[in-house]
Structure 1
C-alpha cells in the first residue's frame, strides 16, 4: 500500500466505503468491485486501497478471526504477522512472569501488540516504516491510552528508553528485573508492503547480534523462523518452537524471567483451543532404533525442531525407525498430542506398479502421501498410482537403513 492510498482510505468516506464493500475473496470479485467503485466516481487511490484492504481482510480471518473485519493490513505485514491465538499465548507468558508492559519493537501491523494489549499489558509499539506504523496505530486505537504507536527503529527506542551502553552491572540487573519486557520480530524479508523476499540471517533488521545483546539485559521474546540455524542460538535463552494446527509457525527465544527455570528446549503444540507442551533442559538423546512394529508414529514438527523426539519415544516405549529419520515405531498407537499414529497394513517396494496393485486390492481411492529420507516428489508420484477405490489410507515413503520402503497404513 502506498502512502497516498492510505491517506485516501483513512477518511470517514474511505472507511465507510471499506465497511460497505465487505470481504472480497476472489479475483473475479476484485474486478467487479473495482469496476463498480470507479463507476461510482471514486478516485483511483481510494478504489485501490478499499479493494486491496477488502481482499486482505478476507485472507486475514485465518490469523485474526473476527478481528480481521475491523483491521487494516499490508500484504507483507499480514504474511509475517503472528496468528492471534499464538500471540495470546505469548502474552499469557508475559503476564505469568509478572510483566506489566511490553515494548513491541518492529510491531508490523500490530498483530502481537493486539494480543499484548488484550491481555492487559501496557504496550509501546514501534515500526520503522511510516505506512506500517500508521496501520498499526489504526489497529490498536481501540485500546486508547494503554497503547502508544510511533515510527522509529528498534535501536532508537532502546537507546532512549532502555538505557545505552549499560556498563553498570547494577543498571543491567535493574533492567532484567523490570516489569517491562521487549518483544522483537526482526524483519526477515526485504522492505516493502507487497512483494518481498527472504534475506539471510546476517541481514535481519534489527541485527541479531544486537537483539541477543539486548535480551541479556532486558526480559525479551525474539520471534524467528522455525528453521533458524540452531548453532546460532544464544545458549542462555529458552528456545520454544510453536506448532499451530499441524504447521510449525515460529521459534521464540525467551530471556530473563520470561525463560523458565531449567527449560532450554520446548515444543508448544496448539490444536484448536488446546495447548500442549513438551519441555527439556537440553536436546534429548535419540531413542534406540527398533524394527518396524505394528505402528509408525510421526512426531509433530515442533517436537522435531526442538529435538525432543527421544524423550517422546521413551515416554511411550517407542523406538526410532532409522537413526536419521524422524519416524518412530512401536506395537501400540501413541495417545499423545505430540505425534500422529498410523497402523501398518503392509510394506511394499517403492514401485508404482506394486503399490497400485495393493491399493486396488484394498479398494483405496484417496491416498495421503508422506515421505522422509527419500528423493521423491509426492505429487508426481501420486500421478503414477491407480486410485479408483472408495476407501482411504496413508502411504509413508521412508528410507530405513540403506533401503527405501513404502509403508501402507491407516491413521490410528
Structure 2
C-alpha cells in the first residue's frame, strides 16, 4: 500500500470512504470484483480506492486474530500474519510489567500489536521500525485504540538503548523468498539479539528454535493458544525465572504454565516408561517443545509409553491444561488388514487418527481403511516399547 494513500485514509475524507467501502463490501457479501467496482464508483483515485478496500478486506481477515479491535485497526498483509496474537501479547506484556521497568522499547514494532499490549499493561512504550508505512500504521493503531505510545522510523541496531528499562524484539524471519529458518538470516541479526541479553529484554522467536541455541542463563518459553503452538520467547537473564517453560492459553480463557521445576525427572538419566494403563494423555505442543513431557507424566501419576514418544499413560483420569486426555477403550491390531477388519466389526465410519512416532499419514490411511458404519472413534497409532501399537480411545 502506498504511504501517501494511507495517510490520506486517516483524513476525514479518507475515513468517510473507508466507512462507505465497508458497507459496499458487506452489500456484495465480500465479492472482491463487485466490491472493487463499487468502491471505484465512490472514489475515482485508484490508489485511494485500493487503500480503502484493502483495509476493509484486511480488517475482515484480522477479526479471527484481533477480535473486535480489528474493526478499528489498520493492517498490511504480511505484518498481519506476523503480528502476535493479542492474548499471547497480553501475557508477555503482563509478565514484563511485573518486573516494573520504567519503559519498554519495541525494536521492529511492525503494525503495533505488541506496542498496544504493552500500553494496556500500563507500560510506557515506544516503538521503532525501518518501514515508514508500518510506523504510520502502528501510530494510527495506537490512536484508534485510545492508547499512548511513541513510534518512529529508526534502525534498531543503531539506537542507544540505555534510556529504556526493557527491550522487546521480534526479528523478521521472512524475506522476499519466504520464511527464514537460519537465525543468521534474521533482521536484526542473531548477533544483535545476543547483545540484547546483556540487558532486560525479551525476544520473540520461532517455536522451532533449537534448545542448544538458547544462551546460558536465558529462559526459553514456548506458548500455545487453543492447542496450537504459536511462538517462543527468550527472556534475558535479568528477567528469566526458569530455563524452560511451557505456557498454555486455553480457548476457554485463563493461563497455565509449567517449568523444569515441575518435573521430578528433569536431569534424570532414565525416563519413566511404563505399560499402557487405562488412560492416555497427549501433551500440548508447547510442553513437547519445552521438553517437559515427563512433567505431565508426573502430574497425572503416570509415565511414558515409550522413552522417545510424547504419549503419557496413567491408570487414573485427570484433567490438565497441559494435555488432552483419553480413556483407552481397547487395544486394536496394529497391522492394517486386521485393523480394517476390527474397525468394520465395530461399525466405525468416522475416525480421527492420531499418529505419533510412526510413519502414518492419516488421510491416506483413512482412505485405505474404507470405513463405513454409524459410529465414530479416535485411533491412537504409536510405538510402545519400540513396537507399533493401536488403541481405540475416547476423550475424557
TM-score (norm 2): 0.91
Please state how far the C-alpha of 1:243 moved relative to its aligned partner: 0.9
Please state how far the C-alpha of 1:8 moved relative to its aligned partner: 4.7
**1:299-332 deviations in Å (ceiling 9; x for gaps):** 1111111111112212322111111111111222
CA spacing shift, 1:294–1:74, aligned 2, 3 Å: same
Are 2:292 and 1:312 aligned? no
Q: Distance in 2 between matches of 1:390 and 1:20?
A: 50
The counterpart of 2:223, out of the listed 234, 238, 242, is 242
Residue ranges of structure 1 left out of the alignment (5+ in a row):
164-177
Residue ranges of structure 2 left out of the alignment (5+ in a row):
none
The counterpart of 2:246, out of the listed 264, 267, 283, is 267
The counterpart of 1:302, out of the listed 282, 286, 302, is 286
Please state how far the C-alpha of 1:4 moved relative to its aligned partner: 5.0
Match of 1:186 in 2: 171
Match of 2:137 in 1: 135
Please state how far the C-alpha of 1:144 moved relative to its aligned partner: 7.1
The counterpart of 1:203, out of the listed 168, 185, 189, is 185
Q: Distance in 1 between matches of 2:325 and 2:343?
A: 20
Please state how far the C-alpha of 1:182 moved relative to its aligned partner: 0.5
Match of 2:88 in 1: 86
The counterpart of 2:239, out of the listed 245, 258, 266, is 258
Cα pair 2:202 2:234 within 8 Å, conserved: yes
TM-score (norm 1): 0.87
CA spacing shift, 1:359–1:51, aligned 2, 3 Å: farther
The residue matched to 1:274 in structure 2 has which SS? coil
**1:362-387 deviations in Å (ceiling 9; x for gaps):** 33333222111112211222222334
The residue matched to 2:276 in structure 1 has which SS? coil
Question: 1:7-406 alignment to 2 at 5 Å?
Answer: 7-22=7-22, 29-142=31-144, 146-157=148-159, 160-162=160-162, 180-190=165-175, 196-216=178-198, 218-260=199-241, 263-271=242-250, 272-280=252-260, 285=268, 287-406=271-390
Cα pair 2:73 2:144 within 8 Å, conserved: no
Q: Distance in 1 between matches of 2:85 and 2:306?
A: 34
Cα pair 1:297 1:340 within 8 Å, conserved: yes
CA spacing shift, 1:2–1:404, aligned 2, 3 Å: farther
CA spacing shift, 1:344–1:151, aligned 2, 3 Å: same
Cα pair 1:359 1:386 within 8 Å, conserved: no
CA spacing shift, 1:41–1:312, aligned 2, 3 Å: closer
Cα pair 2:17 2:43 within 8 Å, conserved: no
Q: Distance in 2 between matches of 1:19 and 1:155?
A: 39
Please state how far the C-alpha of 1:135 moved relative to its aligned partner: 0.9
CA spacing shift, 1:41–1:184, aligned 2, 3 Å: closer
Please state how far the C-alpha of 1:43 moved relative to its aligned partner: 2.2
Please state how far the C-alpha of 1:406 moved relative to its aligned partner: 2.3
Match of 2:394 in 1: 410
The residue matched to 2:118 in structure 1 has which SS? helix
Please state how far the C-alpha of 1:284 moved relative to its aligned partner: 5.5
Cα pair 1:284 1:308 within 8 Å, conserved: no
CA spacing shift, 1:13–1:353, aligned 2, 3 Å: farther
Cα pair 2:111 2:141 within 8 Å, conserved: yes
